[in-house]
C-alpha cells in the first residue's frame, strides 16, 4: 500500500517568517533539480566581497516572491476581484520560475559566456518544464509572457510593483545590512488594487510607494552599483573572457564538462530554443548543470596556470585583491584611456591588446522609476488614475531621471591621477 507523500510544507524564512507551500504542483516544481539549482546561485553575485552577509541565494528569493504573490492574491480577492484557483496557482508558478534562467553569480554569465538575457532563457526553460509536467504550466507560461487575457497578473510577475522587486529589495537590504532598502512590503501589498485590468495603488498608499522608490534608488547606488562590487564583477567577467580566448586557442583549461561547453562554443538563442546537442547533452541541460561552484572551482585551479593574465585575475578574486575602482561624474577622454592602457601594458610586460583584460572602463546608469517598464498609477476615491509623479506631493524628478556615471577599474599597483 503506497503512502501519499505530504506536499503541504511550512518553510521558515529569516525575512518573511513562515512560508506555506499548499499546492502539490508548486511543491513538485520546488523539488525539481532545475529549481534546486538556485540554491547554488548567489542572489547578489560577488557582493559578498563587499557585504559579508550577502550570501543569500536565488532559491530563497524565489520562495519569498512566491509568498508575497500569495499575499497579493489574497488582498485582491478580499476587495472583490475574481482570481480563480487555477489563475492563482498559475501566477504563483510564474513568479516561482521567473529566475530559473539565471546563470552562475546571477548576471555575470550573461555578460561573458552567454550573450542571452536570463528572461529569454527563463521562458525557454518554462516551456521545457511545461512539457515535462504534461502541459500543467501552460497558463503560467502565458502569464509570464504577457499573453494571458488578465494583464494585471503579468504585472504582478514583471512590472513596477511586482513581487520580484518587493522581495529582493527587502531581502537584499536584510542580508547586506543596508537599512535604506527597507520598505513597507505588507502595506504596499494591501494597497494594491485593479482598475481596468491594470494593477494600481490606492491613494492612501502613496507614501509607501514614495518610500519604495527612494529605497530602490539608494539600494542601486549603495549595493547593486557599488564601485567595489562593479570591480569584482569586472574581474570575473574579464577572467572568463580570458579563459575563452585561451580555450579557443587550443589551451586545455580545468573546467567541469558543462562549463567547458560554454568556454568552447559561442551559443545563440536558437541553440537554446532547439536545445542543440553537444557532447551527448542538450544545451539546456548543460546550462542547468552550471552554478557558482563550477566557476569557483575553476578559478581556484586557474590561479596556478602559467598564463599571467588568467592567474593574476584568478588570484585577485580568490584572495580578494580587487582592482581599484572609481566612479566618475564625467567621461574620460580617449587620450587618457590610451595612456592608462599603455602604463598597464608596460607595468606587466604585456601587449596593449592584453591590457584590455586588466582595465575596465564603462558607463553605469540607473533610474529608480522609468516609464519604459510601465507606470505606477495611483487610484483616488473618485476612480481617477494619476501617475505617482503627479499624485505625490514631493518632487520625484530625482527618481525618474536617468543618472549616468562612468566606472573605471585597474590593478591597485598602478596609481593614476
- What is the Cα–Cα distance from 401 to 217, expressed in whole angstroms? 11
Residue 5 in this model has a pLDDT that exceeds 80: no
pLDDT of res. 372 = 65
pLDDT band at 417 (very low <50, low <70, confident <90, very high): low
Average pLDDT, the chain: 93
Residues 55-79 have pLDDT tens digits of: 999 999 999 999 999 999 999 999 9
**pLDDT average, residue stretch 384-407:** 86
pLDDT of res. 241 = 94
Residues 236-262 have pLDDT tens digits of: 999 999 999 999 999 999 999 999 999
Residue 1 in this model has a pLDDT that exceeds 60: no
Is the CB of residue 313 less than 8 Å from the CB of residue 239? Answer: yes
Q: Over pLDDT 70: what percentage of the chain?
A: 98
Q: Cell numbers 499575499 label which residue?
A: 71
Angle at alpha carbon of residue 194, lines to 191 and 198, rounded to 5°:
120
Residue 327 in this model has a pLDDT that exceeds 50: yes
pLDDT band at 111 (very low <50, low <70, confident <90, very high): low
**pLDDT average, residue stretch 38-53:** 96
pLDDT of res. 371 = 66
- What domains are defined for the chain? 9-97+137-225+369-401 (1.10.3210.10), 252-364 (1.20.1250.30)
Residues 340-371 have pLDDT tens digits of: 999 999 999 999 999 999 999 999 988 878 76
pLDDT band at 2 (very low <50, low <70, confident <90, very high): very low
Residue 175 in this model has a pLDDT that exceeds 80: yes
Least confident range of 53-62, 301-310, 383-392: 383-392
Is the CB of residue 222 less than 8 Å from the CB of residue 180? Answer: yes
pLDDT of res. 118 = 85
Which contacts qualify for 355-358: CB closer than 8 Å, 24 or more apart? 356/238, 357/238, 357/241, 357/242, 357/309, 357/313, 358/238, 358/309, 358/312, 358/313, 358/410, 358/411
Residue 180 in this model has a pLDDT that exceeds 80: yes
Instruction: State the distance between the two ends of the chain, measured CA to CA, in whole angstroms.
Output: 77
Least confident range of 204-218, 249-263, 395-409: 395-409
Amino acid at each position: 500500500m503506497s503512502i501519499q507523500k505530504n506536499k503541504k510544507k511550512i518553510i521558515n524564512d529569516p525575512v518573511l517568517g513562515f512560508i506555506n507551500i499548499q499546492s502539490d504542483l508548486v511543491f513538485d516544481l520546488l523539488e525539481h533539480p532545475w529549481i534546486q539549482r538556485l540554491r547554488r546561485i548567489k542572489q547578489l553575485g560577488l557582493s559578498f566581497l563587499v557585504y559579508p552577509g550577502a550570501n543569500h541565494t536565488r532559491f530563497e528569493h524565489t520562495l519569498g516572491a512566491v509568498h508575497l504573490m500569495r499575499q497579493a492574491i489574497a488582498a485582491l480577492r478580499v476587495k472583490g476581484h475574481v482570481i480563480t484557483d487555477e489563475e492563482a496557482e498559475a501566477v504563483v508558478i510564474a513568479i516561482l520560475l521567473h529566475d530559473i534562467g539565471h546563470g552562475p553569480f546571477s548576471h555575470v554569465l550573461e555578460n561573458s559566456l552567454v550573450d542571452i538575457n536570463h528572461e529569454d532563457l527563463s521562458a525557454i526553460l518554462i516551456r521545457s518544464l511545461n512539457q515535462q509536467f504534461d502541459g500543467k504550466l501552460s497558463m503560467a507560461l502565458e502569464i509570464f509572457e504577457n499573453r494571458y487575457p488578465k494583464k494585471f497578473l503579468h504585472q504582478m510577475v514583471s512590472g513596477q510593483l511586482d513581487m520580484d522587486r518587493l522581495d529582493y529589495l527587502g531581502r537584499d537590504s536584510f542580508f547586506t545590512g543596508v537599512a535604506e532598502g527597507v520598505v513597507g512590503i505588507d502595506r504596499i501589498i494591501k494597497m494594491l488594487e485593479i482598475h481596468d485590468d491594470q494593477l494600481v495603488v490606492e491613494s492612501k498608499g502613496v507614501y509607501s510607494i514614495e518610500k519604495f522608490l527612494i529605497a530602490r534608488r539608494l539600494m542601486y547606488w549603495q549595493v547593486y552599483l557599488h564601485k567595489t562590487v562593479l570591480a569584482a564583477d569586472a574581474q570575473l567577467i574579464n577572467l572568463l573572457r580570458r579563459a575563452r580566448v585561451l580555450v579557443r586557442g587550443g589551451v586545455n583549461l580545468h573546467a567541469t564538462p558543462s562549463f567547458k561547453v560554454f568556454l568552447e562554443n559561442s551559443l545563440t538563442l536558437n541553440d537554446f530554443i532547439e536545445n542543440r546537442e553537444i557532447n551527448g547533452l542538450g544545451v539546456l541541460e548543460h546550462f542547468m548543470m552550471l552554478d557558482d561552484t563550477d566557476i569557483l572551482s575553476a578559478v581556484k585551479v586557474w590561479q596556478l596556470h602559467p598564463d599571467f593574465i588568467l592567474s593574476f585575475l584568478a588570484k585577485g578574486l580568490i584572495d580578494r585583491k580587487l582592482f581599484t575602482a572609481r566612479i566618475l561624474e564625467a567621461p574620460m577622454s580617449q587620450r587618457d584611456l590610451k595612456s592608462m592602457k599603455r602604463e598597464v601594458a608596460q607595468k606587466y610586460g604585456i601587449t596593449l591588446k592584453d591590457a584590455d583584460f586588466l582595465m575596465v572602463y564603462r558607463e553605469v546608469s540607473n533610474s529608480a522609476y522609468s516609464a519604459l517598464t510601465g507606470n505606477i498609477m495611483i487610484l483616488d476615491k473618485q476612480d481617477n488614475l494619476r501617475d505617482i509623479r503627479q499624485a505625490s506631493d514631493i518632487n520625484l524628478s530625482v527618481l525618474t531621471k536617468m543618472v549616468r556615471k562612468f566606472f573605471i577599474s585597474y590593478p591597485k599597483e598602478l596609481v593614476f591621477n
